[in-house]
Amino acid sequence: MPGATGRRWRGPVVVLLPLLLAVACGGGDEEESGAEGGGQATKVAKIGVIAPLSGDLTATGTGIRNSVELAIRQANEQNKVPGWRIELAAEDDAAKPDVGAQAAAKLASDAAVIGVVGTYNSSVALQVAPVLERANIVQVSPANTNDTLTRGESFRTNPTRPHKNYFRTATLDSLQGGFAADYATRDLNFRTAAIIHDKKAYGQGLADSFRAQFERNGGRVVATETINPGDKDFAAVLTKIRPLNPDLIFYGGEYPEGSLISSQAHGAQGIRAPVMGGDGIVDPTYTKTAGNAANGDFGTSVGAPPEQLPSARQFITDYQRAGFRDPYTAYGALAYDAANAIITTLPAALGSARAVNDEVRRKVLDAVGKVSFDGASGRVAFDAFGDTVTKTLTMYKVENGEFKPVKSGEFRG
């Protein structure tokens, strides 16, 4: 509109831009639903869940939440903790560290909370673990794979455990990235790779460990690019990679961006190299969004494929019978085991206590470190760092629009 320009607009712009950014990072919500059953028990202990229940990663977060709910329902039905009813307290972290920290603070201030299952994102866990640690609440993550969470910043040379309350049933990025690199160089005979990651704790950690092992095996990384979570258009990055002609595009990140990278690389950009990623992309949403472009892509995931594990079959049957609307996803069995790791300790820890208190929380915290039982995903037990002793990984390949397991094993470095 000629002549209508440039009145005093800078004031509002300067004021509002940061405000708008702040708003964009908020918006967490909660989703609570008490587990039913438990007879005439009156005392209540809550198990919290912190996972993405809104936004791009909802599919995974909901699978985690439901699997924990299943474990709680079963505990109440079977009266595993006599005299107590266990309830679910699910909080949304929207896959954002600051929202996760708020959720953790909320759970920590709830006197009935005895333990927390979560988070999905390693970056969120880095904020959540210290908050729960101050309240002596045990945290068991079904999905965090970033090494620093259990072994500190210098995990390669001098591992030290940063949070005494933190455990996980998922294996580490350093193992996952290494396993992927071994598969790429030894099974697929790939020599060159381009790496893309999303700069988050998980994505970058995975990409770094892949690179280290890939180069150790004699492979060459021809490019390392980064993207922003939330971006949709990756044409520029892929155009840059195309003339380098890598055998493989390794992506450290999650399925919302990973699926777009696959569809744009194999579609408009005409790149033939498959995309390989970690457990963050092994999700039905990835193949659904990328469509045919995803065929031939690879993804590693933690644990053996649930469908093939005898121990997981019962979980799958129970989950399906429980009538959840959403699938259990890659982390369902691990979340179920994480919840049970906490529940197992409750009869002894709660004992005759009148209510959940600091002493009970400490007892649970100590006891979780010592649990050992056969869960849905395999042996559930933790080492001195709080990491799972089960280190099985599986490589999946997309065939006809579905992730199919092609190789399971352990990575020994």
Partner 1 sequence: MRQFVQQLVNGTVLGATYGLIALGYTMVYGIIQLINFAHGEVFMVGAFGGLTVYRYWLPESMTGNVWVALPAVLLVAIVVAVAVAVLMERLAYRPLRNAPRLAPLITAIGVSIFLQEAVRLFYPDGRRQQPFPRLISEGTFEVAGVTVAWVSVFVVVVAVALMVALQVFVKTTKTGKAMRATSQDPESAKLMGIDIDRVIVVTFVLGAALAAVAGVMQGMRFAQIDFRIGFLAGLKAFTAAVLGGIGNLTGAVLGGFVLGIAEALATQYVPHGSSWKDVWAFVVLIGVLVLRPGGLLGERVATRA
Residues in contact with partner 1 by CB under 8 A are: 1-13, 15-16, 19-20, 23-24, 27, 53-56, 58-59, 196, 199, 225-228, 230-233, 235-237, 239-240, 243, 256, 259-260, 263, 267-270, 285, 288-289, 291
Position 252, amino acid: G
Greatest Cα-to-Cα distance within the chain, rounded to the nearest angstrom? 79
Q: For 24, which DSSP code? A: H
Grouping H, G, I as helix, E, B as strand and the rest as coil, residue 172 is coil
> Min. distance of Cβ 195 from partner 1 in angstroms?
11
> Min. distance of Cβ 20 from partner 1 in angstroms?
6
CB-wise, 210 or 385, nearer to partner 1?
210
> Min. distance of Cβ 10 from partner 1 in angstroms?
8
Dig out the tokens for 22 from the structure: 């702040």
> Min. distance of Cβ 120 from partner 1 in angstroms?
14
> Min. distance of Cβ 59 from partner 1 in angstroms?
6
CB-wise, 12 or 323, nearer to partner 1?
12
Q: Count Cα neighbours of 380 within 13 Å in the Cβ-side half-sphere.
A: 28
CB-wise, 294 or 333, nearer to partner 1?
294
> Min. distance of Cβ 150 from partner 1 in angstroms?
27
Position 11, amino acid: G
Please, are residues 63 and 91 in contact by the beta-carbon 8 Å criterion?
no
24: CB partners within 8 A, 6+ apart: none
CA dist., res. 298 & res. 399, Å (int): 10
Q: For 274, which DSSP code? A: P
What DSSP string runs through 144-197? ---THHHH-TTTTTS---S-TTEEESS--HHHHHHHHHHIIIIIS---EEEEEE
> Min. distance of Cβ 160 from partner 1 in angstroms?
30
CB-wise, 81 or 124, nearer to partner 1?
124
Q: Count Cα neighbours of 388 within 13 Å in the Cβ-side half-sphere.
A: 32
CB-wise, 164 or 242, nearer to partner 1?
242
Q: Which of 151, 161, 57 is nearest to 99 (CA)?
A: 57
CB-wise, 61 or 378, nearer to partner 1?
61
Q: Which of 124, 142, 120, 121 is nearest to 132 (CA)?
A: 124
> Min. distance of Cβ 392 from partner 1 in angstroms?
29
> Min. distance of Cβ 318 from partner 1 in angstroms?
24
Dig out the tokens for 302 from the structure: 């933690």
Please, are residues 79 and 108 in contact by the beta-carbon 8 Å criterion?
no
The phi and psi torsions of 273 (rounded to 5 degrees) equal: -60, 135
CA dist., res. 316 & res. 73, Å (int): 15
CB-wise, 232 or 354, nearer to partner 1?
232
CB-wise, 19 or 384, nearer to partner 1?
19
> Min. distance of Cβ 58 from partner 1 in angstroms?
4
CB-wise, 43 or 199, nearer to partner 1?
199
Dig out the tokens for 307 from the structure: 């469908």
What DSSP string runs through 281-319? T-SHHHHHHHGGGGTT-EEEEESS-GGG-HHHHHHHHHH
Give the other-Cβ count within 10 Å of 225's Cβ. Answer: 16
Dig out the tokens for 234 from the structure: 């990756």
β strands within 318-401, DSSP E = 372-375, 378-381, 392-399
CB-wise, 108 or 293, nearer to partner 1?
293
Q: Which of 57, 66, 276, 73 is nearest to 182 (CA)?
A: 276
CB-wise, 239 or 372, nearer to partner 1?
239
> Min. distance of Cβ 19 from partner 1 in angstroms?
7
